[in-house]
Structures are given as C-alpha cells and as structure tokens.
Structure 1
C-alpha cells in the first residue's frame, strides 16, 4: 500500500538570539530527526509529554512552520519547501484541527463565514453552492443549519469544536491533523466528539494524525501509535502492540500512568526521576538516560540511536538506557 504521507528526517529548530547584536546563540530543537509514514484511511496516534514537540510537528506537516531540514511527502509530492502559492491547491488534501475551539475560531466571523472560508479560498462552486455546502457540513457534524448565522460565542465548547470539525472537512481532505482536539472539552463531551471523528473517518475515508497526551483516548481511536520524547520518536508500533508489549522504558512509564477503571487494580506506577532535558541544550547522549541518570548513559554520548525494527512493524530507538538487555542486544545488530 502506498503512503499518503511520508516524513523523512524532519527537523524544526527555532533560533535563540541574545547579546547586544541579538545574534543567534542557540536553537530550540523542537523536532529533531523524525521519520514516519501514514497510510490512507488509518489513524496514527502521536503521544508524549507537554513540550515533546507533538504540536510543532503537526504544524510543520501542514506547513504553518517551514521545517529546518528534512522532507514531507504528500503522496508523491514534496511539499517541504513549496511556496504558499504552489501549496494552495494541495491544501485541500491536508487540513488541521486545533486544540482550543475558543481560540481557533474567529469571534468576528459568523459560523457560516468560518466554515465557508476554505471553500471561498479554493473558489469551489458559486456562493449559493458554498452556502448550501455549509448547511450540509453543519448537519453532518450534528449542528442545525440554523447555527450558520450565529457566532462562536453563542456555542458551548463541544459545539465550537464541532464547528472546527466542519471547517476542517469542508474540502474533503485525505489527511486531517488533529492537535489535541478533545483535551479542552469536558469528559462527557469528549466521547461525543471522538465518536463523531470516528464516524466521519469511515464515511469520508480520511486518514488522521491524532496528537494527544491522553493515552486512553489514543488507544480508543488509533491504528498505530508513535511515542515522542524531546523532539524524537522513540517507539512506533500498532496500537495493540504498544499497549500490550511496549519496549521503550519511556513508553512503559507513560502507560503505567493511565488510570484504571477497576479501583482494585494494583498496577505498578513507574515514576520517572529527574526533569525533562531542555530542547535548547539537549544531552549529548540518550536524553532519557540522562533524565533518569542511567548507569549506561556515558556510552551513549555521540552514539547514533536510530529507530530499528525490533519486531515486525514494531520500531524502537536503539538506546541501551531505555531497552532491556535482550532488546538492546537485538537492536545493536540492526543499527
């Protein structure tokens, strides 16, 4: 199966300036050498702690940021360095939905203007046809057509997010980047929006990149899961594999923090010591090993720790500080 999206060694470094002349004195390595692909119609979950680079990666994919290095292939087309003019017709195929509906919807626009804007920009149909499309989209996301002439402030958080969904699917994209789309909503509303996204995916045959820090939500919606730590993907596998047989120590710690429905459940919580290293001055070796003061950290300084296929379709960073002795021996042979 051909890939809908392929990312190769992507980097997004933000310059840090200082001194009297405000010259660049460093860089925030928000995304650092990330590679993965997305198949048509699948959902790739992207998880990790706050500040690990998930949202920055998502914004790079839709070219809200211009990456420092690497490649983004949408189908066969390299969109990494495209001008906005050249990219415009391709934007129909990849859209983004943001975390906070109160911030991502223009409060001065009516709902009709908000949802119709992508259609206006792409000059699809006549004005009458676009207005009819807006009514159709609102009904598709569970809102009455009468909502079109109201303003975002008149709606609840869940309803605003439905408006955001309507805008995101207006152009029938092949890929939707969802940046924590339910984290700002009440728990009771989260499930409604998630079920809506699942239903729309089946109906419109879209692929999702679902960015979140809630692993329980990611498990519910994802086919595969990529785990990010300090700007890098450290583990990538099917959702079932990640949750039943994680290999990276950081993944295991994240999974141990998921609340269990059974109050008598006696699962062991893995508590990580130390602080997440700064992306401005990351460690020279294993970032995770540096955080937990692992005894093998020194041998990782300067060591290339790429993702290796430790098992069929199960990729993990070749890091002696994060793998079992057995997995490390296997990973060494694959580097």
Structure 2
C-alpha cells in the first residue's frame, strides 16, 4: 500500500546566537531525527509533554518551517526542499488547523474573507462560485449562512474553531495537521468539534495528524499513536496496543496520568523525577534515563537508540533505561534490523 505522507530522519534545529557578532553558539534541537508514515484516510495521534517538538514537527510538515535536514514526501513528491512556487499547488493537499482560533483567525476579516482566502489564492472558480462555496462550507461545519458577514469576535470559541475547520477543508485537502484543535475549548464543546472532525474525515477521506497532550482525546480519534520525547519519537503503535500494552517507560507514565471517571479506580500514578533536559544541550545518552537518573544511563552514551519493531507494527526506542529487562534483551537483538515505521 502506498503512503500519503512519508517522513524520514526529519530534523528542525533553531540557531541560538550570541556574542558581539551574533554568531551561532548553539542550536535548539526541537525535532531531532523523526521518521514515520501516514496512510490515506488514517489518523496518526502525536502526543507528548509541552516542549517535546510536536507543534514544530507539524509546522515543518506544512512547510511553515524549513526543516534543517531530512525528507518529507507527500504522495511521493519531496516538499522539504521545494521552493515556495513549487509548494503552492501542493498546499491544496495538506492544510493545518491551529490551537487557538482567537489567534489564528484574522480579527479584521469577515468570515467570508477568512474562509474564501484559500480559494482566492488558488484561483478556484469565479468570485460568485467562491461565495457559494463559502456558504456550503459553513453549512458543512454546522454554522448558518448568515455567519458570512460577521467577524470572529462575534462567535464563541467552539464556533470560531468551526470557522477554522471550514477554512482548512476549503481546498478539499488529502491531509490535515491538527495542532491541539480542542485544547483551548470547554470540555462540553470539545466533543462537538471532535465529532465534526470524525464526520468530515469519513465524508472526505482525509488523513489526520492529530497533535495533542491529552491522551484520552487521542485515544478517541486516532488509529495509531506516536509518542514524542525531547524531539524524538520513542514509541509508535496502533492506538489499542499503545493503551493496552505500552513498552516505553515514558509512555507508561503518560498513560498513568489519564484521569478516570470511575471513583473506585485506584490505578498507580507514575510520577517522573527530575526535569526535562534542555533541547539546546540534550544528554549524550538516553534523554529519559538522564532525567530520572537511571543507573544504566552511562551505557547509553553513543548507543543508537533508534526505533525497533519489538512486535509486529509496534515500534519502540531501543533504550535500556526505558524498557523492562525482557524488552531490552529483545530490542537489543533487533537493533540492526530496519526501523522504518
């Protein structure tokens, strides 16, 4: 089966400048060697703590950032190094939704102007046809046609996010990168927006990359889940497997923090010690092992801790600080095997 999106060894390092001549003295390694694929119509959840590089990765995928190195292929076409002119037709196929609709929508534009802008840029249809498309899009996301002449500040948070959805799907894209699309909304509104996204995905056969830190939300919407830690993917598997049988210690800690509605549930919360290492000066060995002061940290210095397929379709970082003894023995034997995910 051919993939819609293929990402290989992607890195996004931001220069840190200092001194009298403002020379580069370091780099923030926001994304540091990420590889994965997305199938047509699939939802890949991307989870991790704030600052792990999720949003930066999303912005690289739609080329809001120019990646430092690595490859991003959309339907076989390389977009990581494409010029702005070459990117313009490709932007029809991959769009992005942002976290805060109050910030991502231009307050000086009417709803008609906001939703119609991508149609104008891509020169789709006549002006009259574009106006009709805008009304149809608003109706599709559950807003009345009368909303076209209003401005973003006249709507609630959930309604503004629906406007953002309408803008994102205006070009009938094949993929949406959703950067925490419901985290700024009330809980009662979150489910409405999530259900809308699920319905639109079925109707339009779009693939989603769903970026979030709320694992309960990710479980609801994702087919597969990738867990990021300090710029790297440390575990990747289908949603059911991740939640039923996590292998990486960081994934286990994240899952233990999910609140339960059952007051009689007494699951043990895993509390991580130490601080997240700085992406400017990451540890030479296991970043997670360094954080928790693991006794095997020293042996990870210089070790290739790339992803290995510990079970069919279940990939995990080959890190002795993060795996059980049994899993580490298995991963160690697979470290030279191909790790494409």
Normalising by structure 1, we get a TM-score of 1.00
* Residues in 1 aligned to 2:202 and 2:182: alpha-carbon distance in whole angstroms: 19
Deviation at 1:14, TM superposition (A): 0.1
Q: Deviations over 1:23-51 (max 9, x none)?
A: 00000000000000000001000000000
Deviation at 1:193, TM superposition (A): 0.2
Deviation at 1:321, TM superposition (A): 0.2
* Residues in 2 aligned to 1:144 and 1:90: alpha-carbon distance in whole angstroms: 30
Write the mapping of 1:1-335 to structure 2, written as runs, cut at 5 A. 1-335=1-335
* Residues in 1 aligned to 2:102 and 2:40: alpha-carbon distance in whole angstroms: 30
Q: Deviations over 1:227-256 (max 9, x none)?
A: 000000000000000000000000000000
Aligned length: 335
Deviation at 1:261, TM superposition (A): 1.0
Q: Deviations over 1:277-324 (max 9, x none)?
A: 000000000000000000000000111100000000000000000000
* Residues in 2 aligned to 1:145 and 1:3: alpha-carbon distance in whole angstroms: 37
* Residues in 2 aligned to 1:263 and 1:177: alpha-carbon distance in whole angstroms: 35
* 3-state SS of 2:281 partner: coil
* Residues in 2 aligned to 1:123 and 1:198: alpha-carbon distance in whole angstroms: 28
* Residues in 1 aligned to 2:153 and 2:40: alpha-carbon distance in whole angstroms: 36
* 3-state SS of 2:273 partner: coil
Deviation at 1:145, TM superposition (A): 0.6
Question: Which consecutive segments of 4 or more residues in structure 1 shift more than 3 A?
Answer: none
* Residues in 1 aligned to 2:94 and 2:10: alpha-carbon distance in whole angstroms: 18
* Residues in 1 aligned to 2:328 and 2:73: alpha-carbon distance in whole angstroms: 32
Deviation at 1:160, TM superposition (A): 0.2
RMSD across aligned C-alpha pairs, in angstroms?
A: 0.3
Structure 1 unmatched runs, 5+: none
* Residues in 2 aligned to 1:147 and 1:10: alpha-carbon distance in whole angstroms: 41
* Residues in 2 aligned to 1:37 and 1:142: alpha-carbon distance in whole angstroms: 32
Q: Deviations over 1:48-71 (max 9, x none)?
A: 000000000000000000000000
* Residues in 2 aligned to 1:145 and 1:210: alpha-carbon distance in whole angstroms: 28
